[in-house]
């Protein structure tokens, strides 16, 4: 095969920001030209950002994206461009890609395999493409594809290979989950071997609400060996000569991979939604501590404002630990006691509560007062409130609606409690941040005297694997019991998960790191009497 210099333009577009995305695309085209690339390849739906969801139902949105494509076509001089956009004809709209050469669209490919599972619902919007496409460029036959087309057993790559494709371009918006990059490498290697062609796999990068796109674009040779790979979690322009030496970025280990995914999720949610600073309720517990460290690492200490809101049940240790954590990170800790506010609430409610014993109502008032204070700071200063609840708590409803769930972005929403501890240990190994006393103390909400999480819940070492089997594995109660867990505890955990759906539906979004998070790919009815036995 004749030699070819290819630029993998791994960009971070913003959904709906067509003008800004187009400017970024043109900039990357020019940068690729400067490095003498023959071809520059962009991600799936690079012009619109992914996923555009119901913006696709607005005809003007498609029109604007087509106008942007025309501007990009004008830049294709001295270089070919393969880029994702939304196409339209009498049959509807298509998830499409254009191969551009000499200021002309040489070919348009319509995605043939539309994913409609997990976080994907492309069949809601797009028509299916019908035909594989091959273009000839610089004497090379190039097969075209988009994302899912590479993941199916009988994808268009087979027909393109039969027709002599030497090179197959596959552009993607493939969201992150733990270990996903290794799965991508496996499939790209397999298809390269099957087609005996070079595979160019370009992924988008960035955070889009719950979804995190981790990049990791790559090229595999016909023997199934990855010969070039881009960075994870950041924009990259990887320029590679197909006959050159290997240019590889090593995989991150599991914990830094997850940690960097969370950082990207925070950074892009805050920035892309127009916020500059954030606030966090700091309790002295490990969840709020990890949330604070993540926020500081993602945004910088000057943009993060922790608030300590003690009640009459807050232990002195919580205050001391919070102050030490803030000192370690170089942030100012605001102190807003809530005891007098709680007393005022109790006094105001006393006439109607007369004769009723104190219960969880009085506990939850404290959480809701804290939520009100944080939202007041958000309104006054324009700070985004980051909530601190983890996936274990969210799964079983161990959280207060309009209290600790009040906020704009739930950083640990898809992070189980046992993983919280592992992430803290890893982060501390990179530079001591979270005090040992926070790590070692039993988890507690401190809403009543001597309270710990295990008063209400099984140990997290038991709860988490049951939750993961039920939520992420869709296993039945009987199947989970066969895994070695007692029937009583399995019944309790799964029942709590089912009953807490109304809380999760009202919780803020948070970054998805697992194969199944509470959000786009969890759509359980609130009104639901099914018993998964």
Burial of 96 (0-12, 13-18, 19+ CB in 10 A): buried
Active-site entry in 44, 101, 257, 446:
44
Q: Which pLDDT score, from 0 to 100, does residue 453 have? A: 63
CA 320 to chain centre: 33
Per residue in 466-510, pLDDT tens? Answer: 999 999 999 999 999 999 999 999 999 999 999 999 999 999 999
* CA-wise closest residue to 415 among 470, 468, 373: 468
pLDDT digits (tens, 9 = 90+) for 115-145: 998 899 999 999 999 999 999 999 999 999 9
Confidence check: pLDDT of 103 > 80: yes
Active site residue 147: yes
How does residue 246 score in pLDDT terms, banded at 50, 70 and 90?
A: confident
| pLDDT recorded at residue 462 | 94
Active site residue 53: no
For residue 2, what pLDDT is reported? 62
- Over residues 313-348, the pLDDT tens digits come to 888 888 999 999 999 999 999 999 999 999 999 999
Write down the pLDDT at residue 33.
96
Question: Domain ranges in the chain?
Answer: 5-243, 258-505
Of 13, 49, 11, 8, whose CA–CA distance to 32 is shortest?
Answer: 8
Q: List Cα–Cα distances, 78 to 21, 69, 101, in angstroms.
A: 22, 18, 8
- Picking from 526, 458, 527, 467, the residue whose alpha carbon sits closest to that of residue 494 is 467
Q: Give the DSSP letter string of 30-99.
A: HHHHHTT-SEEE--TTTTT-S--GGGGG-HHHHHHHHHHHHHHHTT-SSSEEEEEEEEEETTEEEEEEEE
pLDDT of 137: 95
- Whether 5-243 shares its CATH topology with 258-505 is answered no
- At 29, the pLDDT band (50, 70, 90 cuts) reads very high
Note the pLDDT of residue 530.
85
Question: Is 128 among the residues known to form the active site?
Answer: no
Nearest to 231 by CA among 245, 258, 250: 250
Options 5, 24, 141, 147, the catalytic residue: 147
Give the span between the Cα atoms of 222 and 236, in whole angstroms.
Answer: 24
Mean pLDDT of the chain: 94
- Choose, from 5, 24, 111, 503, the residue flagged as catalytic: 111
For 230, how many CA atoms within 13 A lie in the half-sphere containing its CB?
29
* Distance from chain centroid for Cα 260: 11
pLDDT single digits (tens) 403-445:
999 999 999 999 999 999 999 999 999 998 999 999 988 776 6
Cα distances from 100 to residues 80, 109, 163, 168, 368, in angstroms, run 6, 12, 21, 15, 56
> 35-92: per-residue pLDDT in tens?
999 999 999 999 999 999 999 999 999 999 999 999 999 999 999 999 999 999 999 9
258-505: CATH topology is Rossmann fold (3.40.50)
Does 532 have pLDDT greater than 90? no
Q: Which of these CATH numbers, 2.10.109.10, 3.60.110.10, 3.40.50.1100, 1.20.1050.10, describes 5-243?
A: 3.60.110.10
**Positive or negative CA dihedral for 249, 253, 258, 262?**
negative
Residues 357-366 have pLDDT tens digits of 999 999 899 9
271-301 residue pLDDT tens: 999 999 999 999 999 999 999 999 999 999 9
pLDDT at residue 9, rounded to an integer: 98
- Other Cβ atoms within 10 Å of 346 Cβ, number: 14
Helix ranges (DSSP H) in 273-338? 286-299, 316-329
Q: How far apart are CA 21 and CA 46, in angstroms?
A: 7
pLDDT(446) > 70: no
Where b means 16+ CB within 10 Å and e means fewer, 359-375 reads: eeebbbbbbbbbbebbb
237 compared with 454, residue with greater pLDDT: 237
What is the pLDDT at residue 455?
65
DSSP of 413-458: TT--HHHHHHHHHHHHHTS--S-HHHHHSPP---SSTT--GGGTS-
Read off the pTM: 0.94
Q: What angle do CA 470, 474, 477 make, to 5 degrees?
A: 55
């Amino acid at each position: 095969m004749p030699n070819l210099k290819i630029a993998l333009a791994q960009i971070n577009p913003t959904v709906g920001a067509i003008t800004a995305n187009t400017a970024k695309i043109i900039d990357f085209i020019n940068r690729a030209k400067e490095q003498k690339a023959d071809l520059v390849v962009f991600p799936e739906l690079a012009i619109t950002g992914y996923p555009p969801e119901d913006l696709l139902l607005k005809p003007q949105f498609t029109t604007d994206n087509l106008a942007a494509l025309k501007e990009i076509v004008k830049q294709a001089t001295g270089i070919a461009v393969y880029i994702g956009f939304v196409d339209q004809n009498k049959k509807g709209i298509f998830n499409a890609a254009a191969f551009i050469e000499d200021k002309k669209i040489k070919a348009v490919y319509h995605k043939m395999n539309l994913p409609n599972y997990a976080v994907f619902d492309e069949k809601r919007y797009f028509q299916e493409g019908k035909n594989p496409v091959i273009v000839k460029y610089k004497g090379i036959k190039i097969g075209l594809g988009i994302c899912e087309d590479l993941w199916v057993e009988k994808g268009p790559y087979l027909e393109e290979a039969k027709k002599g494709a030497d090179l197959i371009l596959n552009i993607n918006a493939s969201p992150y989950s733990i270990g996903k990059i290794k799965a991508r490498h496996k499939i790209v290697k397999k298809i390269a071997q099957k087609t005996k062609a070079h595979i160019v796999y370009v992924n988008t990068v960035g955070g889009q609400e719950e979804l995190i796109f981790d990049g990791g674009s790559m090229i595999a040779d016909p023997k199934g060996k990855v010969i070039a790979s881009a960075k994870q979690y950041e924009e990259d322009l990887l320029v590679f000569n197909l006959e050159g030496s290997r240019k590889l970025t090593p995989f991150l280990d599991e914990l830094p991979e997850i940690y960097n995914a969370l950082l990207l999720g925070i950074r892009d949610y805050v920035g892309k939604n127009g916020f500059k600073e954030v606030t966090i309720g700091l309790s002295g517990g490990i969840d709020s501590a990890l949330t604070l460290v993540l926020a500081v690492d993602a945004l910088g200490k000057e943009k993060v404002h922790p608030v300590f809101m003690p009640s009459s049940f807050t232990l002195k240790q919580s205050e001391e630990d919070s102050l030490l954590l803030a000192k370690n990170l170089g942030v100012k800790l605001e102190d807003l006691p809530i005891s007098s506010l709680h007393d005022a609430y109790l006094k105001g409610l006393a006439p109607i509560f007369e004769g009723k014993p104190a219960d969880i109502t009085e506990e939850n008032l404290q959480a809701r007062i804290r939520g009100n204070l944080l939202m007041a700071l958000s309104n006054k200063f324009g700070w985004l409130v980051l909530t601190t609840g983890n996936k274990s708590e969210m799964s079983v409803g161990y959280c207060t609606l309009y209290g600790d769930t009040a906020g704009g972005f739930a950083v640990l929403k898809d992070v189980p409690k046992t993983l919280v501890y592992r992430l803290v240990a890893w982060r501390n190994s990179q530079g001591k941040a979270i005090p040992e006393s926070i790590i070692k103390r039993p988890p507690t909400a401190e809403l009543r005297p001597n309270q710990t999480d295990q008063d209400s819940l099984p140990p997290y070492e038991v709860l988490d694997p049951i939750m993961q089997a039920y939520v992420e594995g869709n296993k039945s109660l009987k199947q989970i019991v066969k895994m070695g867990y007692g029937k009583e505890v399995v019944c309790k955990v799964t029942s709590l998960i089912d009953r807490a759906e109304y809380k999760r539906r009202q919780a803020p979004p948070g970054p998805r790191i697992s194969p199944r998070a509470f959000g786009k790919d969890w759509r359980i009815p609130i009104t639901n009497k099914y018993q998964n036995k």
